[in-house]
Chains A and B, each alone.
Chain A
Amino acid sequence: MTLTEDDVRGIADYARIALTDEELKEMCAYMNEAIELLEPIRQYDLTGVAPTFHPIGDLSNVMAPDLTNANGRSLDLDDALKNAASSRGRAFRVPSILGEEGGDR
């Protein structure tokens, strides 16, 4: 199966990566080449083989008490906002998500 430029455009939309027409062409060629490299995976009869999603089988999740700053590692507000390109008050600032009437740009 070969991916078309339309397929790749759809994947780029899903991955939230805008591609120029030129980039789309290159990406399409790359993806088809890369998928070819993956072909050995499809040559196996894997009936009855369990998957290994992780090298360590018996992991348990890390839990902390449900308290504010329970582990003493919460970021303070300034640190949390320090790397944001755009913030206001105590919040990250983003463009409208509800159309022209919904935002405050």
Chain B
Amino acid sequence: MEELTRLSAAEIARGVKAGSFSAREVAEASLAAIDVREGQIQAFLEVSADLALAAADATDAARAKGEELGLLAGVPVGIKDNMHLLGTHTTCASRMLENYESVFTATCVQRLLDQGATPVGKTNMDEFAFGSTTESSAFTTTKNPWDTTRVPGGSSGGSAAAVAAGEVPLTLGSDTGGSIRQPAAFCGVVGMKPTYGSVSRYGVVAFGSSLDQVGPLARSVEDVALCMRALTCAGRDPLDSTSQEVGVDFTAEVKRPVEGMKVGVIDALMEHEGLTDEVIEGLAHAREALEDQGVQFVTVDLPNIASAIAAYYVIGPSEAFSNLARFDGVRFGYQEPNCATLAEQTALSRAHGFGAEAKRRQMLGAYLLAAGVYDKYYYPAQQVRTLITADYRHAYEFCDAIMLPAAPSVSWRFGEVSDPTQMYASDLFTISNNIAGNGGISVPVGFGSASKMPVAAQLQGPAFADSSLLRLAAALERGIEGAGLFKSNAIATDNSRGGER
């Protein structure tokens, strides 16, 4: 059983189709792994064993009848808890939605189910996706599987940790300012934020509507490409007005050679004062690996990237304030009892339902959208977005992708960064991509020499060129010595316990 949890999503789908093992066996192995490891890792907020086994049985029954199986036949998947799945709660890791039962299934989740995936549960996150460590979850603290005294990153920390710990081979996360790429980097897995519009957000609880995008986390680039194919092959989703036709078979693209491709580097970013030596070394290593395969490196510049944090912390909180206004305690969510007036009920429900960071972001957004303030920050931030987007467009005239860190350092220890604005500054390398709406992928490239924690490189690309990113990411994975390490399970302790089951 243990062996099944070491397989990739692609290997599982192939094995289930070939009859080497059943979807039920794979589901049971995943649930058993969760049972053993959750005590340490706490990646999941809810384990949907019944749904998982029913889905797996349906896959096995379809095979028995000779039906064609989907791309993700029998693949156990974890779903970030801001995505609706009928039969589960969707809490956004908030007291506000502690008892919320999904009444429909998000398109992104449905598409995985349509391809035969086995939904094993909902993963932990920063409350309403506000954060970089998953520490702001109202319910539990997810640990980094490589070192449980360290954070898994965030906000999709549960999705990253579940994959790194070998509980599931594949999860969905959402990325508004780096929330897939940064936890993937911290946990030594591959995480992709596709181009804005690639994946439907219908049924995903909104944070920043002009920034949010759903994407996969997995232990290999091949699995990320497979999941991207599953998410997009049914075409655009009419239920999300931002959804676009992608029309690319990502699984074929990853296999193409990269010789002659050009990758840009930004010297000013690599000299950033907060960047650690471990990350600089990791990026140098990644560059060599790609150069060995015929990739040419060029220097490019994004002159306005230094303002990306400021633009993001205007646009993100403003959109969050608008989106989270729906939580008034009436139709759903926490409701303060015994209030005399509706106004009092609303203010107290929001005060007691939301955690500290959710309140901070909304307060900031409320201020920034106020009359008189709007013209000082919100409108200019959208103009700066134009400049940042143009910077990228100009840079991509000279290269196919840009390589940069996913985070300034490896994962830090719990409580090490507690000041909110200091935490915001750590988003520097990921957020400009959300502002421009482009795709990005985080790929493990080694371990820090001092920390022994995973280090990642991030590749960013032009809008709707995600297949080029996957090609380069696959080349990086092939070229890094010992990359296979990231495909084995992070925790050593389960080896001693494996015999008991």
Question: Which of A51, A59, A86 is B382 in contact with, Cβ under 8 Å?
Answer: A51
With a CB–CB cut-off of 8 A, which chain B residues contact A92? Answer: 330-331
Contact mask for chain B residues 97-108; partner A; CB cutoff 8 A; 1 contact, 0 none? 001110110000
Q: Is A101 an interface position by the 8 A CB rule?
A: no
Is B210 in contact with A54, judged by CB distance below 8 angstroms? yes
Q: CB within 8 A of A51: which of B196, B359, B379?
A: B379
Closest to A60 in B: B241
Q: What's the minimum C-beta distance from A52 to chain B, rounded to whole angstroms?
A: 4
Give the size range of B's interface with the partner.
35 or more
Complex: A13 Cα to B424 Cα, angstroms = 26
Contact of A38 among B314, B339, B359 (CB under 8 A): B314
Residues of B within 8 A of A2 (CB): none
Q: Does B450 contact A (CB under 8 A)?
A: no
Q: How many residues of A contact B (CB 8 A)?
A: 55
Q: How far is the CA of A35 from the CA of B241 in the complex (A)?
A: 32
By the criterion CB–CB under 8 Å, are A16 and B363 in contact? Answer: no
Residues 33-73 of A, flagged 1 when their CB comes within 8 A of B and 0 if not, give 11111111110101001111111100111100000000101
With a cutoff of 8 Å between Cβ atoms, the chain B residues found around residue A82 in the complex are 101, 103
Residues of B within 8 A of A53 (CB): 210, 382
Residues on A with beta carbons closer than 8 Å to the beta carbon of B362: 15, 17
The segment out of B132-140, B181-189, B220-228, B303-311 that lies at the interface is B303-311
Which residues from chain A contact B241 at a C-beta distance below 8 Å? 59-62
Q: Which residue of the partner chain B has the closest CB to A15? A: B366
- Partner pick for B313 among A18, A37, A59, CB 8 A cutoff: A37
Question: For residue B345, which residues in chain A have a CB less than 8 angstroms away from its CB?
Answer: 94-95
The contact of B306 among A36, A40, A86, by CB within 8 Å, is A40
Question: What residues of chain B lie closer than 8 Å to A38, measured between beta carbons?
Answer: 310, 313-314, 377, 381
Q: Which residues of the partner chain A approach B148 to less than 8 Å between Cβ atoms?
A: none
Known: A40-B310, A42-B377. A49 touches B387 (CB 8 A): yes
Give the docked Cα–Cα distance between A95 and B328 (Å).
Answer: 12
Report yes or no: A52 in contact with B386, Cβ–Cβ below 8 A: yes
Chain A residues closer than 8 Å to B340, beta-carbon distance: 95-96, 105
**What CA separation (Å) do A44 and B389 show in the bound complex?**
16
Decide: B360 and A27 in contact? CB cutoff 8 A.
Answer: yes
Whether B376 sits at the interface, judged by CB under 8 Å, is yes
Docked pose: A95 CA to B366 CA in angstroms: 25
CB-nearest residue of chain B to A26:
B356
Known: A27-B360, A55-B463, A83-B103. A95 touches B341 (CB 8 A): yes
Contact across chains for A17 and B329 when beta carbons are under 8 A apart: no
By the criterion CB–CB under 8 Å, are A14 and B342 in contact? no
On A, residues with C-beta under 8 Å from B are 3, 8, 11-19, 23, 27, 30-31, 33-42, 44, 46, 49-56, 59-62, 71, 73, 75, 79-80, 82-86, 92, 94-97, 105
